[in-house]
Structure 1
Amino acid sequence: MPGERLLNVLCAVCGDRSSGKHYGIYSCDGCSGFFKRSIHRHRHYVCKAQGELKDKCPVDKTHRNQCRSCRLARCFLVNMNKDGTVQHERGPRKAKQKILSVSNMILPSSTGSTAPPVACSSSPTIANVSTTSISNHFNRKPKLLPTQQQQLSCLSTIDHYNPFPTIINQITLYEAAARLLFTITNWLETVPSFKILPTDDQRSLLEDNWHYLLMINLSQWMVPIMAIQLTNNTVTQTDQIEIQRICDCIYKLRSLALDAYEYTYVKTLSLYQSSAKPLINQNHIDACQEHVLFVLRTSLMSHSATTYSIKFSQLIGIIQMMNQISANNVQRILFPSITHDVPVGKILWELYRSKSSETAL
C-alpha cells in the first residue's frame, strides 16, 4: 500500500520499525530526529550510570529516551553519518517492490563448494530479492561446514571439558592463542562477502581488525588469558591494566552465552568495522555490517523476545569496549616473541593470501 513503512527493516539504533534510511542507515523517526538535534546543536551528553553500568545503558524501543549519551554513542556505533543526507525511503510504492539483500554474501558458506570467486576488480553484484525471501532467510539457521559442525559439538560440551591443563603455563596459553589466531584465515574462506572485496579492502580490514576476531575466539573457546598475570612476574603495571581490559571484554562476551551462529555474526560484524585506510567498496561493507546487525538482533530475539534488547545492548557495549583496545597491545601481550616491527596483521594477511592462492589452483 502507498506510504507503507519498511516493515521488514528495523531501526539499527533501537530496534523499532524503520521509517527509511536516514543519515546512511535504516532508522526510526525518533532516532534520526534525536541524532539530527544532537549534531546540529552540538550537544555533549554524559551517562549518569555508575560503576560497571556506566556507558552501557540499554538502547531499545523502551529505554532509548533514558540515556542520551548512550543513545548517541549507539548512533555512531552503527555508522550514522552526521554529514549524510536523509534518504526518504518511506516504504514500498508497489506491492511487489524489492529491497536490497546481502544475506547470502554475509553468512558463512553452507557447503564446501569451490566455485570461482568474483573478480576483485569489479564491484560485487548483490541480488535484489523480495521481502518474503528475506523473511524466510531469517527464519532458518545457516548450515555449518563439517569442521564447524565438529566445533559446534565441542562447544555443546565445553562446560564439562577443559581443553587446558589445570596448572596452565604461558607456553600453553600462547600456543592456544596462536592456534586460534590462525583459524581466522580458515574462517575468512567461508565468508563470501569478504572474498569478493577488492584485495586492498580485504587487507585493510584484516590488518586493522584481526585482534577483535582473536578476542572473540578467545571468548568462544574459553581461553584463560588471566594466566599471564599469574605466571609471569615480569608483567608491567601498564600491561596488567591492559590484560584486565582484554579479560573484561572476553569474559563479559562469554557471559552472554551466545550460540555458535551468534558468535559468527559478532565476528562478521567486527571484521567489517571501519578501517584506518579509505576503503574502495565502502558501500558494500556498510550494507554487510547493517545487515548482520539485523540478523544478530533477530537471532537474539528468537531466544527470548522479552530480554533480547537488554542482551543486544550489552553486546554492543562489549563491542565498544573492544574498540578501545589496540592491535599493538594485543600483540605485545599475547605474542611477545613476535617483534613489533612485524605486525601480526601483516602475517595473517600473507597467510590468508597464500591460502587463497592455493585454493584457487
Structure 2
Amino acid sequence: MHDEEAWRSMGSFSPDPHITASPSAVETQSTSSEEMVPSSPSPPPPPRVYKPCFVCNDKSSGYHYGVSSCEGCKGFFRRSIQKNMVYTCHRDKNCIINKVTRNRCQYCRLQKCFEVGMSKEAVRNDRNKKKKEVKEEGSPDSYELSPQLEELITKVSKAHQETFPSLCQLGKYTTNSSADHRVQLDLGLWDKFSELATKCIIKIVEFAKRLPGFTGLSIADQITLLKAACLDILMLRICTRYTPEQDTMTFSDGLTLNRTQMHNAGFGPLTDLVFAFAGQLLPLEMDDTETGLLSAICLICGDRMDLEEPEKVDKLQEPLLEALRLYARRRRPSQPYMFPRMLMKITDLRGISTKGAERAITLKMEIPGPMPPLIREMLENPEMFEDDSSQPGPHPKGSKGGGLSPPSSAYPWCLMLCNAPAGCMLPLCPILLPGQGGGRLGPAFLG
C-alpha cells in the first residue's frame, strides 16, 4: 500500500515550469535514480503470481498457514482454529468446495483446508506473535463484539438457519415442465410454486417471532412489518440459493428451476430482475449469519407506513445494524465496504418488491382460481383483490394502525402471530384459541 502511494505521489509531481534544467542536470538525475529512469532497457521483473487458492480455487493472496490460499479461506481457517469451532455437515461430508459454494458447508470447507495442508500450528504461532505486537487500528481484533451483541448474533443466526435450510442440506430435484421456452403461465408450475411460497412465508413468520424483541411489538405493528418485508426476505432467501453454473434457483423442498421455468411459474417479467439480483449477491459471499442479520434489518424497519410505534421499531433495529457492521468487518478486515454494500441490497429488494406488487395485478388475471391468501397478503394491498375474498363494507376501525385491531385483510398473519395464552386482546380478532373451539386454521399456526 505504501509503495503504491509513493508511486502515485511521484507520478503526480509537477516541476516548476520556470526552471530550465541543463542537459547535464538531466543526465545526472537519470543516472542517480534507477527506479525512475532505468539505465537499462531490460523490462521490469514480472509481478509475483501465486497458484490459485488450494481450498476453493479462487485468486490467491499469497501463502498462508502453509499453502497458497485466498483471503477468505485464510480468515475462515484462522477463526475456526482460534475459536475451536466444531461444524456439522448436513449431507454426506463430501460437499464440493469452490469459490461459489465455499460458504455453504463449513464442515467440508474446514476438512478441505486440512486436506490441502493448512497447519493448525501455524495459526497458533501467528496468534502468539500478534499478542506481542501493539494492536493496529483496523485489525480484526479491534472489532470486538460485546456479550450482548454476540448473543444477538447467535439468536438471529440460529433463527435463520432453523427456518431456512442451506443449499447443501437439500436434495435437489428438477422437472421438465416448460423448461425450454417461455409461456405466459404454466399452471402446474404455478401450483407447485404457490404451495412452496406459502410454506416459505410461514417459515419467515417463524423467523420473525424468534427475533429478540419482535413479539414485544403490538400485533398490528408485527403484521405491518411482516406484510411490508415478507417479499423482500423471500426474494433474499431464494436468491441465496442461486447456482450460477446452471442458472437455477432451488426451493426449500429441493425443487430446482431454471430461468425459463421461474418465468413460467409466475415470476413473468420479474424473472430477469430477480436473477440479476442473485448474481449481484455472489461477490458479497454472505454466510448464514449475515443473511439472517440482513433479513432481520429488512423486517425491523421503522420507516414502514402505518406503524403505531416506529420509534420502538427503530430502537430494535439499531443493535442489528451494529451487529452486522462489526460481524462483517471482523469477518473481512480488509474489506470495510462490505457492510454498506449489504445495506444497499435492502434498497434493491424493495425495488423488486414494488415490481412484485405490480406483477400480482397481472398474475391475478392469469390464474384460474383465487390467489392463495398468504401470497395475496404478501404481494399487495388488499384493495387489489376485493373481488376475491374481501368482505364488502369498510375495514374495522383502527385498520391503519391507529387502533387495537389489525385490518381484516391481515387475518392470515394473525393466525400465525397470535400467541395469547388466555384469550386474544384484540376485540375483532377472528382467531379461536385452543380450548375455545379452535379456528379452521388456528391450531395449526399458533406458536
TM-score, with length taken from structure 2 = 0.41
- Kindly name which structure, 1 or 2, has the bigger radius of gyration based on alpha carbons: 2
